[in-house]
Chains A and B, each alone.
Chain A
Amino acid sequence: MEVKAVSVSGLNKWFGQHHVLRDVSFSLAKGEKIVLCGPSGSGKSTLIRCLNGLESFAEGEVAVAGAILSQSPASLRQIRQMTGMVFQHFNLFPHLTVLENLTLGPVSGRREPQQQANRRALELLERVRLGDQARKYPGQLSGGQQQRVAIARTLMMRPQVILFDEPTSALDPEMVHEVLDVMEELAREGQSMIVVTHEMGFARNVADLVIFMDAGAIVETAPPLTFFSRPATERARMFVRQIGHDAHLEGVAVRE
């Protein structure tokens, strides 16, 4: 059997007495894309933060590229080196230039030669269309540019899988598409990814599978076309109607 990029089985997590992840199981095949959606507070962020050990969990098993996650520092480092993460608020390092943001992981964490890392970084910046911004500080860039830098920073680690946690929801509407374009390009190149997003157009274009969560549990999973046109459960139907409505009002999220 082929090794999965990510596999999760029987995941349960509590915050105190609050049962936030309930028996979550799924797997992501190499090169495929999962879009994770669901109402606010349904546990999407918590779930993908469990996948790279930013959150611990009480029960269940998580494996990335066949390596099983434990809470030992060595295992955490190993998993995190294989797992990229892109945050809602970018979380770039404000005291470092764009170039330094990109090379910190490979040079300090993996002892890649500085020159080689610089060269790769400049190539990646070119790819996310920021080739001329390498010497700037993050604060000098727009939100959309910062998020593209964050994506390039993750790509520097050559991750097996990239986790995106609402990468466009902190952006001004006119900047959403420049980030989605970069993500779609990555998807076409066969990068495995799990994306928490409500961008239906993006999901339609790239997702192999949509996972819908509510109250900490997976409620429904289906290919994007099926999910958005004929949701099977009442909760999913309400959710799709809601985000479809919002997208219609904003006029940018639904793109054919």
Chain B
Amino acid sequence: MTTMPLSRAMAAENAAARPAPPAPSRFVRTRQQLFASPGAGVVTVVAALALAAILWPAIRWALLDAVWYAPEGAAACAQPGAGACWAVIAEKYAVILFGNYPYDEQWRGMLIVGVWIFWALLSALRFVPVRIRLAGWALIFVGSILLMGGGVFGLTPVGTDKWGGLPLTFLIFGGTVAGGLPLAVALALGRRSRLPILAALCTGIIEFTRGVPLLVVLFFAALILPLFLPPELNVNKLVRAEIGMIVFFAAYAAEAIRGGLQSLPNGQDEAAKALGLSYVLRLRKVILPQAIAAALPSLFNDIVRAFKNTTFFSILGLFDVLGATKIALQDPEWIRYTTEGYLFIFALYFVFGSGLSLYGRALERAHLTRLRKAGK
């Protein structure tokens, strides 16, 4: 005999779907967040006052009292009550942006900067196919080097010792990523290889490079390496330093990619094997697209860092934007306004760096959307 259970349940009386009850308005929600309790209210007010106390003088100095234009020289900035002397930028922008590059040829640098920014913006648009983006970058990169160096199409040759400013920064960065990513993939795959010597070699390169500061790598590549190499192998300093940058970037990116490889379930490679695909095809079509997509967040950290690391070139006596700014601000007339000059290039780095981060996050979001579609 079964006894009646004591637990109870009831069939729903009104099971028809209906819209969710209205959510509080944005204003109400914000007020709730800012003044959730008396204590929170006090913190909000104090923080707001502190912010205003910091921001107001900054705004006065940087905007309201600033001297924007001083055709008669630095004297305009020296008047009492004058704020930031942005006139120094107007005066020195050519050197800041293009370094020691011959003045008459600076249109080349301008063209390069313009084309890079244009293509970067275009690459951020979803409807431009990846193939076209990459082909464009390859073309632009090679074109930029030819244009900077001259000696072709009737352009006056300009030695790399005269290269400088923003175009040089772009070229260093572009070369680092373009050369570093393939190397990173090779190192990551090598480290996971079943061939013990290859795996040990790749692990060694990665760990050694990650274990020393970039400055040491650059000094080694630019200044010490030539002492050991036969003179015929003595490529120029810019190229040597660039190789150092590439290896340094690749060591970090390799670990990011290795993480992506590890996140892939074994079944992916097995399914590709079961279709009779060769190793290279499995990598190209199945493994790497997924591994690199999974590695995007950390990969973009490394890419943004590579952009900021271009500043190290100034220490080697190569004039990237930072190095160029340093020479520009040595002019005794304007030397008091170096702060403004540096703030300007900080802003420049901030714009490019956060642009890169934003782009990375957009790629990541696109990938996540696809994964959500893929039910992961």
For A76, the chain B residues whose CB sits under 8 A away are: 273
26 contacts between A and B (CB under 8 A): A52-B273, A54-B274, A73-B278, A77-B276, A78-B276, A80-B273, A80-B275, A80-B276, A81-B276, A83-B274, A85-B274, A87-B270, A91-B267, A91-B268, A93-B271, A93-B290, A94-B290, A94-B374, A94-B376, A95-B370, A104-B285, A105-B275, A137-B373, A139-B371, A139-B372, A157-B276
> Is A108 in the interface zone, CB < 8 Å from B?
yes
> Number of A residues whose C-beta is below 8 Å from B?
31
Contact B277 A139 (CB under 8 A): no
> Is A84 in the interface zone, CB < 8 Å from B?
yes
Contact B376 A80 (CB under 8 A): no
> Number of B residues whose C-beta is below 8 Å from A?
26
Contact B270 A91 (CB under 8 A): yes
Contact of B278 among A77, A104, A140 (CB under 8 A): A77
What's the nearest-Cβ distance from chain A to residue B186, in Å?
20
Q: Given that A54-B270, A109-B281 are contacting pairs, would A94 and B371 also be in contact in the complex, using a CB cutoff of 8 Å?
A: yes
Q: Given that A54-B273, A139-B373 are contacting pairs, would A95 and B267 also be in contact in the complex, using a CB cutoff of 8 Å?
A: no
> Is B19 in the interface zone, CB < 8 Å from A?
no
From A100, which residue of chain B is reached at the shortest CB distance? Answer: B285
Contact B370 A137 (CB under 8 A): yes
Contact B276 A109 (CB under 8 A): yes
Q: How far is the CA of A198 from the CA of B139 in the complex (A)?
A: 58
Contact A109 B278 (CB under 8 A): yes
Contact B267 A87 (CB under 8 A): yes
What's the nearest-Cβ distance from chain A to residue B183, in Å?
24
Chain A 100-115 per-residue mask, 1 if CB under 8 angstroms from chain B, else 0 = 0000110011000000
Contact A84 B274 (CB under 8 A): yes
> Is B215 in the interface zone, CB < 8 Å from A?
no
From A83, which residue of chain B is reached at the shortest CB distance? Answer: B274
For A104, the chain B residues whose CB sits under 8 A away are: 275, 277, 285-286
For A54, the chain B residues whose CB sits under 8 A away are: 270, 273-274
B interface SS class: helix
> Is B293 in the interface zone, CB < 8 Å from A?
yes
B-facing residues in A219-251 (Cβ within 8 Å): none
Q: How far is the CA of A105 from the CA of B223 in the complex (A)?
A: 50
B-facing residues in A117-145 (Cβ within 8 Å): 136-140
For A109, the chain B residues whose CB sits under 8 A away are: 275-278, 281
Chain B 336-376 per-residue mask, 1 if CB under 8 angstroms from chain A, else 0 = 00000000000000000000000000000000001111111
> Is A34 in the interface zone, CB < 8 Å from B?
no
From B293, which residue of chain A is reached at the shortest CB distance? Answer: A95
**8 cross-chain pairs, A with B, having the tightest CB-CB distances, nearest first:** A139-B375, A139-B374, A94-B374, A81-B276, A105-B275, A91-B271, A80-B276, A91-B267
Q: How far is the CA of A85 from the CA of B376 in the complex (A)?
A: 23
Q: How far is the CA of A149 from the CA of B305 in the complex (A)?
A: 42
What's the nearest-Cβ distance from chain B to residue A109, in Å?
5
For A95, the chain B residues whose CB sits under 8 A away are: 289-290, 293, 370, 374
Contact B277 A89 (CB under 8 A): no
